[in-house]
Amino acid sequence: MTKFEAEFQAFKRNEDTYRAMGVVFLKRTPDSANFLFSVPHIIPQPIAFGVKIDYKNWDAEPPSIQFIDPFSERPLSFNEVKIGFFQKTGVDPFGQPILINLLQQSEPPFICIPGVKEYHDHPAHSGDSWFLHRQQGEGELCTIIEQLYKHSVALAGGYNIQLNFNIVGINPDLNKLVR
Amino acid sequence: MKEEKEEKQLNLISLKFSVTGNPIMIDNVNINQPLLVSVQKALEKAGNTRPVEDYEVLYNNVILDINQKVETFGLLESAVLMVSLKTGQGGK
C-alpha cells in the first residue's frame, strides 16, 4: 500500500463523520483526491468550495492544495473563492486571513499554514522546513480536511447578500378607492 | 446510600469524540471533571502520542476550553466532539 493510499483509507474509514460536517469526496487519482466543502449549518446549504489535494511525492513533500470548481475541476482564482479562511492569533481580534493570493486577486490562492506545500515552498517560510513537521501529522489527509473545515466552514455564520434594486413604480392601495 | 449512588450515576455521561476522524466513545465521563480528562482518554484510545496541548476540541463549530468542567458546556449524552490538531501559525 502506498503512503497516499494509507491516507485515503484513513479518510474512507471516517467518511460518514466528514460528510456530516459537509465534506464530500468527489474523485481520486493514484496520488490526489478531490473534495467538495459545503456548509450544512446554513439553510439552504451552500457549496463553499472544492479542493484538489495532491499527495505527489508524499511524504518527502507535503500535500499541495488547489482550489477548484467541484463540478468542472477548473482551478479557481482568489476572487472566485467566496468564503473566508481565518486563523485566531491572539493579536488581531478579527483573526488572520490564511487564504492568500500572491500577486493579483485573479491568481490562484493558496492556504498558508504549516503542513501545506505552498506554505513551505514560500520564501517567507524558508526557516520552517517541512521536515520539522513531517512526523507531526500535519500533512495527513484527515488533518488537512479538518484544517480547511475549522478555518472556513466552521466559522460561517450566514449568507452575505448584496442587493441591487430598481424602483419600477408605485404600488396602489386599492382599499383606498372611494366608492 | 442508594441516593448517593443514583446521584453519582446522574453525574456520568458518555461522550463521543472524533479524533482526526476516528470515532472514539468515552463512557462514564464525570461531568464535574475538566473535559481535558476525557480528551486525554480519547487520544490514548485513538493511539495518538502527541500531548493534549497540541489538539483543540470543537463542538457545534465552537472551540471549547477543555480546562472547564464538562457540565459547563451542557453536553448531551453521546454528544460528538471533534478533536483535531491545532494549526501552526500561518498567514502572510
Domain count, chain A: 1
Question: For the stretch A109-138, what's the b/e string if a residue is b when 16 or more beta carbons lie within 10 angstroms of its beta carbon?
Answer: bbbbbbbbbbbbebeebeebebeebbeebb
Q: Which of A8-12, A128-132, B5-9 has the lowest mean pLDDT?
A: B5-9
Q: How far is B41 from chain A (nearest CA, A)?
A: 19
Residue A61 pLDDT > 90, yes or no?
yes
For residue A82, the domain's CATH number is: 3.10.110
Nearest chain B residue to A17, by CA: B21
Judge whether A160 lies within some domain.
no
The residue with greater pLDDT, B53 or B79, is B53
Tell me which H or E stretch contains B7: helix B2-10
ipTM metric: 0.79
Judge whether A94 lies within some domain.
yes
Q: Give me the residue from B20, B89, B91 closest to A143, CB to CB.
A: B20
Closest among A123, A114, A111 to A86, alpha carbons compared: A111
* pLDDT, position A157: 85
Instruction: Tell me if chain B has a CB within 8 Å of the CB of A34.
Output: no
Q: How many angstroms separate the CA atoms of A69 and A75, rounded?
A: 6
Instruction: Tell me if chain A has a CB within 8 Å of the CB of B18.
Output: yes
* pLDDT, position B1: 61
Q: CA separation (Å) from A144 to A1, A62, B7?
A: 21, 10, 42
What is the domain extent for residue A94?
Answer: 3-154
Q: What integer is the mean pLDDT of A52-80?
A: 94
Cβ atoms B33, B71 nearer than 8 A: no
Q: Which of A10-19, A45-54, A82-91, A105-114 has the highest mean pLDDT?
A: A45-54
Judge whether A103 lies within some domain.
yes
The residue with greater pLDDT, A124 or B42, is B42
The residue behind cell 500572491 is: A102
Instruction: Tell me if chain B has a CB within 8 Å of the CB of A57.
Output: no
Instruction: Inspect the interface and report whether the beta carbons of A89 and B91 lie closer than 8 Å.
Output: yes
Q: Which residues between 117 and 146 in chain A have a beta carbon less than 8 angstroms from any beta carbon of chain B?
A: 119, 124, 128, 133, 136-138, 140, 142-143, 145-146
Q: Which residues between 25 and 84 in chain B have a beta carbon less than 8 angstroms from any beta carbon of chain A?
A: 50, 56, 58, 61, 82, 84
Judge whether A165 lies within some domain.
no
Q: Give me the residue from B23, B50, B90 closest to A98, CB to CB.
A: B90
pLDDT bin (cut points 50, 70, 90) of residue A144 is: very high
Judge whether A163 lies within some domain.
no
Judge whether A7 lies within some domain.
yes
Judge whether A26 lies within some domain.
yes
Judge whether A166 lies within some domain.
no
Instruction: Inspect the interface and report whether the beta carbons of B91 and A142 lie closer than 8 Å.
Output: no
**Residue B41 main-chain phi, psi, to 5 deg:** -65, -40
